[in-house]
Amino acid sequence: MAMGMAAALQCAVCGSPATRVEIVAPGRVPAEMEQWKAERRQAFGEHRDPGSWCLLSEGVAAGNGRVGDGIEETGELIEAAFHEAAFHEPYTYAQVPTAGFYDDAASCEQCDAAYCYRHWRVSASETGFGYCPQGHGKSPDPHW
């Protein structure tokens, strides 16, 4: 039976989670599902196709929702290999963009490191622009 995979990039400053990505295999549940609030567990159970692969992502500015995104059955192996290639330790900026996340999984290209929301110093302005602890800027918000 397929197992899926999970990866969590840690903040280079404080060690707290910066980004978490998980591919949930058919017939399985997310690794941290027991820690979710009851409302999210219920939504996942009601809206996820248990026979399909599922991608869950949580990042600095957002994620892909309470139930994640389904992965097309025909592309499951390609998708799984794609994310495994981007999310294996040691994490480097060069590998992370290959996964295609709009915020580069909370990573700063110039620092070659990931940072949590607190250390990205994301602006409360309409742009959602933020700066890493070294002053390098980018927008981790896909809507801006």
| Token representation of residue 45 | 């159970």
Q: What is the pLDDT of residue 77?
A: 63
| 6 confidence band (pLDDT: 50, 70, 90) | confident
Secondary structure class of 33 (helix, strand, coil): helix
Identify the bridge partners of residue 130 per DSSP, sorted by sequence position. Answer: 122, 138
Q: Per-residue pLDDT for 75 more than 70?
A: no
- For the chain, what are the domain ranges? 5-138
DSSP letter for each residue of 62-107: -BS-SS-EEE-GGGHHHHHHHHHHHS-SSP-TTTGGGG--TTGGGE
Q: What is the pLDDT of residue 87?
A: 77
| 39 confidence band (pLDDT: 50, 70, 90) | very high
Q: What is the pLDDT of residue 129?
A: 78
Mean residue pLDDT of the chain comes to 81
